A and B are shown apart, each in its own frame.
Chain A
Amino acid sequence: MKKRIGVYICHCGGNISDYVDVKKVMHSVENEEGVVLAKTTVFACSDSSQKEMVQDILENKLDGMVVASCSPKLHLHTFRSVAERAGINPYEYIQVNIREQDSWAHSDKPEEATEKAIRLVRSGIRRAAQAKPLTPNEISVTNGVAVIGGGAAGMRAAIELADTGLNVYLIEKEHFLGGRISQWGALFESGERGEELVERLYKEIIKRNNIKIWTGAEVESFSGCVGNFDLGIKIHPRFIKTDKGCEKFEEIIKQCPVEVPDEFNFGLTKRKAIYKNYKKAFPEQPAIDIDNCTKCGICEQTCPEVFDFNQKVEKLNLKIGAVILTTGFSPYEPKEGEYGYKNSDTVLSLQQFRRLMELSNGKLVFNNKEIKNIGFIYCVGSRQKGGDNKYCSRFCCTAAIHTSLLLKEKYKDIKTYHLFRDIRTYGKQELLYRDSCKNGDIYLKFDENQPPEVITEGENTIVRIKDLLTEGEEIEINPDLIVLVTGMVPRNNERLEKIFKVPIGRDRFFNEIHPKLRPVETVIDGVFIAGTSQGPKNLTESILSSLSSSAKTYSLLSGGTLQLEPIVAIVNKNACEWCGKCDEVCIYDAIEKKEAEGKTIAYVNEALCKGCGSCIPVCEQRAIELKGYTNKEIMGMIDGIMEEVNG
């Protein structure tokens, strides 16, 4: 019990004192038990007030302090440091909110507001009387970070993290790095190709000894707490040794008799059972798709030393301090029949079309037909009023327009028609839109309730649109090919979501804590998100977020130790009977079952506990308490509020 508490009632320059009689509040609490000093102040947060408080504490040898002012969100830390400067524990300082929760809310009833203020301040004093000094827990952290997903964002993050001295584990599900950009071809605005960027990133990665790459690898388990996680991964065999080379891989691939649809090219072409995504894919060694391999042995005849069909699935446990999820996106796959998709030979998605462009030499030919007129239909699978994808994928307008510019560059006579809802070429991308217009590309705008109609009559494809820019008149075009400008949807991440317990946003992408102020952190400390796993982004934006999550990771792990908030749950060993109810309600998995002194009790992992307090009310034995909000403190607060106010 404290005996020397100082109480300050703030005017907040009239924000409080206009409605609450602060003098009356002061007088009615100054005789409370333990209070040795009560004052009002015009602005408690001002420099002079803070100095005065420090002086008061020192002169009166105070052991507790209460400031009744604004929300603790605003100034809890301000006054905690005042307490610290005056030599008392910051957790012995109690903030009472009589602005947001009183004067502002009850500005029409000043008398009642004053009474409420008295009750609130009194409860603060009672809590202060019971408050115990707390010190943050310090834990040491593991020098290691896992990056899940080896696309552009993941590779870039890996390089950045490695340069800070952290050990980086880059984990990629596919057998080749690069992700979506390796499929894309020329990128806005430098014109560099995705494959070239992948090559540059890969060469940087292998220069660094502290980056370890696992391809064909999946995350199996994830446990522990911030600073010290255990990450279980499963590595699928490649059946080709990555430390050995062979100059005849191309020949070997050609000889393989098995052909399956090539997913990398969205089924436009076939690949072999021994394959590379594309010629210069990294790592350089091909991989063997064992599910489709007939084990005919033809491949082994050329370079037998690189093949190893005895490779087994390997499981590893990695010790890491933090993890960055860069699992990327999937292109939206139109439904069968959506604008004729899959029902017609003349309809492709933008992603498919980009592969077609990459694979074309000379003329642009699809299904043995030379393509001269292309109709782009925008917002396919995006901004759906009724469907799941309510969001705008933000990259697709620019991507389609850039594609159109590339087409004009490569094939002079090609004509493109753009059937859009709105053009969202923000920032510099606007210049692409201007160039495309100037090239004579035709833009037609449709209303979302009247989407264009695609009619296929034999070889002929007709698209009809009510063009809002031409007074809603019906316009007909006859394209040789229709390209559906499809946006981004999250990858099928259900398993990862469960493993990492990362919250999912409305659009089903990973969700950050705060979209503006904490854009790459998740509610799970030590788990960061970056790139398009978080939502649609163009490459620039992806890399930006990957670098920012690298920086956050570095600032978390660089000190070697971490200070954890001391307001956590604590178990009274004597009272606990282990019923498991606290474990059930804990969403952070901070409760563990433990054997101690001959009985089973609950144990709180302080590194995982967020101090939310969910476990307190479910404990029938009252064996679990929250530091900083102990039962004594809470009961004291209730008493402080409930007791009648005199006069």
Chain B
Amino acid sequence: MHKINSEFSEKIKQYGAFDINACYNCGNCTAICPLSTEDNSFPRKMIRATILGLEDKINSSMDPWLCYYCGECSDTCPRDADPGGLMMALRRYQIRKFSLGKVADIFYNGFSSVFAWIILTLLAIGGIYIFGNYPDMEKINPLSMISLDTLHDGGIIAFIFLILLAFFQIYVMMKSVNGFKKKSFKFSESVKGFFDVLFKEVLAQKKFSECEDKSRYIAHLSLVWGFIGLFIATITVMMIDLFISTQSTLKIIPKIIGIVSGLPAIYGSVYFLYKRGKQKDNYSKYSHHTDWIFIILIFLAILSGYALDICRWSLFFKGYYVSFALHLIIVFELIITLPFTKFSHLMYRPVALWLAELKNKE
């Protein structure tokens, strides 16, 4: 027995999706959606749940995370109800819902998010100011600005914070997902499903590739692979610094990985910035402010990384240290807010795909 809450579709407007009530249940969106199956009428089920305000249905659904927003549903919608936009809005709604203490609220409210980002930036600058030193201007040595110990400790703290939060929020998500019972599937199946998702969906993004617009898939894949490369490069540098030597020539390896990985990442982020700016395609017509902040931060993080290298080669010392500080600030902001922003799809989507896979097997 469900009760109707017609306020909900009004409420969802702050996350996007402005005209979902226009839907008259023709089902064109479901017919065109490459993800829709006989058992899961995608995205119509979510539209209906939104219109009727069946929050338990929405909270317990993984659908928003399975959608890649190719926009074909919105293209074919005869009432311009923008079903794809709704899926994105529901994703934002769920990020907020699953976040610890609904902290994500801060980032999804336009007004408070401005303050949050300012405070985070000030915190990062303050951190560098307090824990850092005046850098060595004779030669380029980033560790002269922030000591290896500080970086190491800060990194460890951030990672522990992140992992704990991620686990907690994924737990919240799994709990609210409908029909998820531990005993209903075998351990071996779960492990197999996990690797399936890891290889097919995270690394190859197979479902994304089913969207008609392949350029978007390629751009996203570039971003993902670029990020994986950059992540490996960063970790390797840290490892060499910690366990071999800060002066080791081995550092050339992560350096090369970093430069090479940066290129697809730059391509991906520029692609999405350009598309969002142009607002031509359905998926980029409407951008929530959280979409903009996410893609801009990603772009700046990579850009400041390259600036670092350019300054190093051109021996522009001041530029190098400024870029380094900027890079640290942006990376700090990206990582620390990961569970509360669009970045969190990094953890929610694989989990949702994994759960969906297991559910299919049931």
User: Which residues of A have CB within 8 Å of B19?
Assistant: 438
User: Which residues of B have CB within 8 Å of A445?
Assistant: 25
Please judge, given known A-B contacts A437-B79, A440-B9, A440-B10, whether A474 and B22 are in contact too, CB under 8 Å.
Answer: no
Q: Min CB distance, B41 to chain A, in Å?
A: 8
In the complex, whether A473 has a CB less than 8 A from a CB of chain B is yes
B1-50 CB contacts (< 8 Å) to partner A: 1-4, 6, 9-10, 19, 21-25, 45, 48-49
Q: Min CB distance, A450 to chain B, in Å?
A: 15
Contact indicator B52/A475 (Cβ below 8 Å) = yes
**The 6 A-B residue pairs with the shortest CB-CB distance in the complex, in nearest-first order:** A440-B21, A475-B2, A470-B48, A438-B22, A469-B25, A474-B1
Which residue of the partner chain, among B2, B6, B48, contacts A440 with CB atoms under 8 Å?
Answer: B6
Q: What is the chain B residue whose CB lies nearest that of A469?
A: B25
Q: What is the chain B residue whose CB lies nearest that of A477?
A: B4
In the complex, whether A476 has a CB less than 8 A from a CB of chain B is yes
Mask, B45-71, CB within 8 Å of A = 1, is 100110110100000000000000000
In the assembled complex, the Cα of A440 lies from the Cα of B48 at a distance in Å of 12
In the assembled complex, the Cα of A417 lies from the Cα of B24 at a distance in Å of 14
Interface centre among B45, B48, B49 (most CB of A within 10 A): B48
Contact indicator A437/B24 (Cβ below 8 Å) = yes
Q: What is the chain A residue whose CB lies nearest that of B21?
A: A440
Q: Min CB distance, B249 to chain A, in Å?
A: 64
A463-503 CB contacts (< 8 Å) to partner B: 464, 467, 469-471, 473-477
Please judge, given known A-B contacts A470-B52, A475-B52, whether A437 and B23 are in contact too, CB under 8 Å.
Answer: yes
User: Which residues of A have CB within 8 Å of B3?
Assistant: 475-477
In the assembled complex, the Cα of A443 lies from the Cα of B47 at a distance in Å of 13
Given contacts A423-B24, A443-B24, A443-B25, 18 further A-B contacts (CB under 8 A): A434-B24, A437-B79, A438-B19, A440-B6, A440-B9, A440-B21, A442-B4, A442-B6, A442-B51, A445-B25, A467-B52, A469-B48, A470-B52, A474-B1, A475-B2, A475-B3, A475-B52, A476-B4
User: Which residues of B have CB within 8 Å of A440?
Assistant: 6, 9-10, 21
In the assembled complex, the Cα of A437 lies from the Cα of B52 at a distance in Å of 12
Which residue of the partner chain, among B4, B10, B25, contacts A417 with CB atoms under 8 Å?
Answer: B4
User: Which residues of B have CB within 8 Å of A467?
Assistant: 52
Mask, B66-82, CB within 8 Å of A = 1, is 00000000000001000
Q: Min CB distance, A422 to chain B, in Å?
A: 11
In the assembled complex, the Cα of A417 lies from the Cα of B51 at a distance in Å of 12
User: Which residues of A have CB within 8 Å of B51?
Assistant: 442
A430-465 CB contacts (< 8 Å) to partner B: 433-434, 437-440, 442-443, 445, 464
Q: Min CB distance, A454 to chain B, in Å?
A: 15
Number of interface residues of B (CB under 8 A): 20
In the assembled complex, the Cα of A634 lies from the Cα of B1 at a distance in Å of 75
User: Which residues of A have CB within 8 Å of B48?
Assistant: 469-470
In the complex, whether A234 has a CB less than 8 A from a CB of chain B is no
Q: What is the chain A residue whose CB lies nearest that of B9?
A: A440
Q: Min CB distance, B252 to chain A, in Å?
A: 59
Number of interface residues of A (CB under 8 A): 22
User: Which residues of B have CB within 8 Å of A417?
Assistant: 4
In the assembled complex, the Cα of A443 lies from the Cα of B4 at a distance in Å of 11
Q: What is the chain A residue whose CB lies nearest that of B23?
A: A437
In the assembled complex, the Cα of A440 lies from the Cα of B51 at a distance in Å of 8
Which residue of the partner chain, among A434, A469, A476, contacts B2 with CB atoms under 8 Å?
Answer: A476
Contact indicator A473/B9 (Cβ below 8 Å) = no
In the assembled complex, the Cα of A469 lies from the Cα of B49 at a distance in Å of 10
Mask, A400-421, CB within 8 Å of B = 1, is 0000000000000001010000
A-B contacts, 7 of them at CB < 8 A, read A417-B4, A437-B79, A440-B21, A442-B51, A442-B52, A469-B48, A475-B1
Q: What is the chain B residue whose CB lies nearest that of A478?
A: B3
Mask, B149-163, CB within 8 Å of A = 1, is 000000000000000
Q: What is the chain A residue whose CB lies nearest that of B79?
A: A434
User: Which residues of B have CB within 8 Å of A415?
Assistant: 6
Q: Chain B interface (Cβ within 8 Å of chain A)?
A: 1-4, 6, 9-10, 19, 21-25, 45, 48-49, 51-52, 54, 79
Q: Min CB distance, B31 to chain A, in Å?
A: 15
Q: What is the chain B residue whose CB lies nearest that of A438?
A: B22
In the assembled complex, the Cα of A593 lies from the Cα of B229 at a distance in Å of 110
In the assembled complex, the Cα of A417 lies from the Cα of B2 at a distance in Å of 14
Please judge, given known A-B contacts A437-B79, A440-B10, whether A470 and B23 are in contact too, CB under 8 Å.
Answer: no
Q: What is the chain A residue whose CB lies nearest that of B2?
A: A475
User: Which residues of A have CB within 8 Å of B54?
Assistant: 470
Q: Chain A interface (Cβ within 8 Å of chain B)?
A: 415, 417, 423, 433-434, 437-440, 442-443, 445, 464, 467, 469-471, 473-477
Contact indicator B21/A437 (Cβ below 8 Å) = yes
In the assembled complex, the Cα of A262 lies from the Cα of B336 at a distance in Å of 72
Interface centre among B21, B23, B49 (most CB of A within 10 A): B21
In the assembled complex, the Cα of A423 lies from the Cα of B25 at a distance in Å of 11
Q: Min CB distance, A481 to chain B, in Å?
A: 16
User: Which residues of B have CB within 8 Å of A471?
Assistant: 45
Which residue of the partner chain, among B4, B9, B25, B45, contacts A475 with CB atoms under 8 Å?
Answer: B4
In the assembled complex, the Cα of A445 lies from the Cα of B52 at a distance in Å of 12
User: Which residues of B have CB within 8 Å of A469?
Assistant: 25, 48
In the assembled complex, the Cα of A439 lies from the Cα of B9 at a distance in Å of 11
In the assembled complex, the Cα of A304 lies from the Cα of B2 at a distance in Å of 65
Q: Min CB distance, A405 to chain B, in Å?
A: 14
User: Which residues of A have CB within 8 Å of B9?
Assistant: 440
Contact indicator B24/A433 (Cβ below 8 Å) = yes
Contact indicator A473/B2 (Cβ below 8 Å) = yes
Q: What is the chain A residue whose CB lies nearest that of B54?
A: A470
User: Which residues of A have CB within 8 Å of B25?
Assistant: 443, 445, 469
Q: What is the chain A residue whose CB lies nearest that of B44?
A: A469
Q: What is the chain B residue whose CB lies nearest that of A417?
A: B4
In the assembled complex, the Cα of A471 lies from the Cα of B45 at a distance in Å of 8
User: Which residues of A have CB within 8 Å of B6?
Assistant: 415, 440, 442
In the assembled complex, the Cα of A467 lies from the Cα of B19 at a distance in Å of 22
In the assembled complex, the Cα of A474 lies from the Cα of B9 at a distance in Å of 20
Please judge, given known A-B contacts A438-B19, A438-B21, A442-B51, whether A470 and B2 are in contact too, CB under 8 Å.
Answer: yes
In the assembled complex, the Cα of A596 lies from the Cα of B9 at a distance in Å of 86
Q: What is the chain A residue whose CB lies nearest that of B49?
A: A470
User: Which residues of B have CB within 8 Å of A423?
Assistant: 24
In the assembled complex, the Cα of A469 lies from the Cα of B24 at a distance in Å of 10
Q: Min CB distance, B138 to chain A, in Å?
A: 68
Which residue of the partner chain, among A439, A473, A477, contacts B21 with CB atoms under 8 Å?
Answer: A439
User: Which residues of A have CB within 8 Å of B24?
Assistant: 423, 433-434, 437, 443
Q: Min CB distance, A33 to chain B, in Å?
A: 72
Q: What is the chain B residue whose CB lies nearest that of A439?
A: B21
User: Which residues of B have CB within 8 Å of A433?
Assistant: 24
User: Which residues of B have CB within 8 Å of A434?
Assistant: 22, 24, 79
User: Which residues of B have CB within 8 Å of A439?
Assistant: 21
In the assembled complex, the Cα of A442 lies from the Cα of B2 at a distance in Å of 14
In the assembled complex, the Cα of A469 lies from the Cα of B30 at a distance in Å of 13
Q: What is the chain B residue whose CB lies nearest that of A475?
A: B2
Q: Min CB distance, B73 to chain A, in Å?
A: 17
Q: Min CB distance, B26 to chain A, in Å?
A: 11
In the assembled complex, the Cα of A469 lies from the Cα of B45 at a distance in Å of 9
Q: What is the chain B residue whose CB lies nearest that of A441?
A: B21
In the assembled complex, the Cα of A561 lies from the Cα of B23 at a distance in Å of 60
Interface centre among A442, A470, A477 (most CB of B within 10 A): A470
User: Which residues of A have CB within 8 Å of B22?
Assistant: 434, 437-438
In the assembled complex, the Cα of A423 lies from the Cα of B24 at a distance in Å of 10
Q: Min CB distance, B219 to chain A, in Å?
A: 34
Q: Min CB distance, A572 to chain B, in Å?
A: 70
In the assembled complex, the Cα of A16 lies from the Cα of B145 at a distance in Å of 106
User: Which residues of B have CB within 8 Å of A475?
Assistant: 1-4, 52
Contact indicator B1/A476 (Cβ below 8 Å) = yes
In the assembled complex, the Cα of A626 lies from the Cα of B25 at a distance in Å of 62
User: Which residues of B have CB within 8 Å of A438?
Assistant: 19, 21-22
Q: Min CB distance, B144 to chain A, in Å?
A: 62
In the assembled complex, the Cα of A541 lies from the Cα of B21 at a distance in Å of 31
User: Which residues of B have CB within 8 Å of A470?
Assistant: 2, 48-49, 52, 54
In the assembled complex, the Cα of A439 lies from the Cα of B10 at a distance in Å of 11
